[in-house]
Structure 1
Amino acid sequence: MRQEKVFALKWASLYPMYLKKAQSKGRLQEELDQVICWLTGYTPAGLRRQVEGDSDLETFFAQAPAFNPDAALITGTVCGVRVEEVDHPLMRRIRQLDKLVDELAKGRPMEKILRR
C-alpha cells in the first residue's frame, strides 16, 4: 500500500482494529488508550473525540498535542520493517504505534511498553 493511502486511513476505522487485537489477547481498552495517550499526548477525552470524529491518520498525528520524546526508544520490527529505520516522519509514528500495540497484545508489561 502506498504511503498516501495509509495516511488517508480513518482513525475511527483503525482504532477498533487495534482494540480487537489487544482484547483478543486479554488486554483492556483502558490499556490500549493509555498506550496511545502516552505516545501522542492526547487526553482520554481527546482520544475519544478522535475515535468519534472523521480524522485520517495524517490529521490524527498532526493534531496530537505532544508526541512523546521517548518514542525514539521504540525499536524493533513491524511487518518486517525496522521502526527506527523508517525515513518518513509520519510513517515512523504510525509504525511506532503499531509496535506499541503489538507489544501490548503480546502481553508485555505496561512499564516496558511505556519505556519507563
Structure 2
Amino acid sequence: MRPLPLAACLALAALSLAALTAQSQTPPAAEAAAAPVSAPAALPLVGNPEKGHLLTYTCQGCHGIAGYKNAYPNFHVPRIGGQSAEYLAGALTEYKNGNRKHPTMQAQAQSFSEQDIADIAAFLSTVK
C-alpha cells in the first residue's frame, strides 16, 4: 500500500467537500448579487387560425347574419370578419375582464383562455 497517494486523495476529497459545503452555505442574496438574472420577457401569443375556426362556431349564430340585431336589449351585432387580430383580441379580452358590457359576450369571452382568444382573433382577421 502506498500511503502518500492515498493521503493526497483524501486531502483532495476533503478540500472538494469543503468547497461544496461553502457553496451550499452561501446566502441566496449573495448569489443573486453575484449573478443578476433578468426575468424572461413575456412573448406575445401567436394565434392559430385553424384552432380559431373551431372556436368560432357559436360566434356565427349572431355575427354571421347580415344586419342582425339581438334581443338584449336590441344591440346591433357588428361584423367581426376581417377586423384586425389586435382589435379582436383586445375586444374579447375586455369582455372577459368585464371592461366591455354585454352579458352574452362576457359569458362567451370568460370561457376562453388567452390562447383561445389569440386563435379566434387570428382566424377572424382572415375572414372576408
Q: TM-score, normalised by structure 2?
A: 0.24
Q: Give the number of the structure whose residues are more often helix, by fraction.
A: 1
Q: TM-score, normalised by structure 1?
A: 0.26
Q: Which has the larger radius of gyration?
A: 2
